Amino acid sequence: MIRTPWRRREEPLDHAELRRLLPAPGDPELSSDRLRGLEEHLMTEIRNRTPDIAPDTAPDPLAGPPPAGAPAGDRAFRPGRRSGRRPVLVGVGVAAALALAAAGVASLAGGPGGSGGSENPGRVAAPPAGAVPAPVVQVVRGSTAGLAGAVADISGAAARAELPEPGPGQFLYIRSEVSGLVSWEGSDGKNRSYVDKIHPREVWMSPDGAKGWLLEPHGKGTGRGGITLDDPEGGERTLNSPSHAYLKTLPTDPSLLLKKIYDETRGMGNGPDQQAFGTIGDLLREQVVPPKLAAGLYRAAARIPGVVLVDDSVDAAGRHGIAIARTDESDGSRTEWIFDRETFAYLGERTVQTRDAEGIRAGTVRGHTAVTGRAVVDALKQRPAGSAQGGDRAGAPAAPSAGT
């Protein structure tokens, strides 16, 4: 048999021919929740492969001297947006963070080329420092019965709220208690879910969004001194990157609001309805929303298919209330916006797993927040008079926020 020898191509393929031969590249659109999960996974791997820096021994950058007679190790306080999109990666672009997460953070996790030597690369043998087992609760069934009446009460209370209005040179201040999912796989592959210990988070923002500061010393990637949220280039404000000034330009009519939200988020997230619900939640979580706009947003949310009323939910400060909720069918996580039963003021948010999925068992609280203060201050890092200044969470839950 005569064999025809293989011969190397004398000329390389040009770009046009390569494009013809190869499949078209994908253009995936990740939801905010999936992006947040990837970022959290990245930060988990970093913490597991770097020595702890003993955060409890570092001085608080905004704290005054300890009270007379206090032990030397005591600190005056520990201050507190997915943001909700809550996690922030300092000095790491989103694309770089996603690339690292998609690759399993190989070098950090002991994969190919790494030095970790882990038998199961990418899995966490022990919970990250500062993490605790995720609470597991009974999933309360939601219903559309009573939703219209509850939304009428909530939107009415929001429209009547007296909120701080920043003047020239002032800053909006939002303080929260927060906790989020940081790990859910053990080295043996068994289901173990962990969350951050509930800790404070503080945000300062100028009304135009050009200047800001985030302080979350027990969170991910912000450091003890916090990080800047400045936007010196004055980027365009949108529903996904709003400022207080931008919120004041939005329509307050629910129909117009919902149309704008669907139009501007088309193609994003896990379907248009879930993306619309998530976008409204992001607008409410860490902002001082104008009263009429807040009322319109709640009425708009009630029109989104799949939105239900949950009779009981609990925020990160332990406050019970009713909730407007929607389940993301892609992963079974249900986001609940929690409101005081009597005043209908916005308390915070909770995300609960409604079914076993992605290694997380049903009933697991994936994260929750509690807004404990909204105010106007005269400078970045300045706290309103009378605000809590303790390194640990206050012993008693704060009063409901008048924010939204």
Q: Please check whether residue 364 is in contact with residue 353, taking contact to mean a CB–CB distance below 8 angstroms.
A: yes
What b/e readout covers 283-309, taking b as 16+ CB neighbours within 10 angstroms? bbbbbbbbbbbbbbbbbbbbebeebbb
Q: Please check whether residue 249 is in contact with residue 208, taking contact to mean a CB–CB distance below 8 angstroms.
A: no
Instruction: Tell me what the mean pLDDT of segment 41-64 comes to.
Output: 42
293-297 contacts at long range (C-beta below 8 A, 24 or more positions apart): 293/247, 293/248, 293/250, 293/252, 294/155, 294/158, 294/159, 294/161, 294/404, 295/155, 295/156, 295/158, 295/159, 295/252, 296/155, 296/251, 296/252, 296/253, 296/254, 296/257, 297/257, 297/404
What is the pLDDT of the chain when averaged over all its residues?
A: 74
Q: Which residue has the tokens 């004055």?
A: 234
pTM score of the predicted model: 0.68
Q: What is the pLDDT of residues 80-114, one digit of tens each?
A: 333 333 333 333 333 333 333 333 332 222 333 33
Q: Does residue 53 carry a pLDDT above 60? A: no
Q: What are phi and psi of 154, to 5 degrees?
A: -65, -45
Most confident of 123-127, 239-243, 246-250: 246-250
- Determine the Cα–Cα distance for residues 58 and 55; give it in Å rounded to an integer: 5
Most confident of 37-46, 78-87, 188-197: 188-197
The pLDDT of residue 240 is: 84
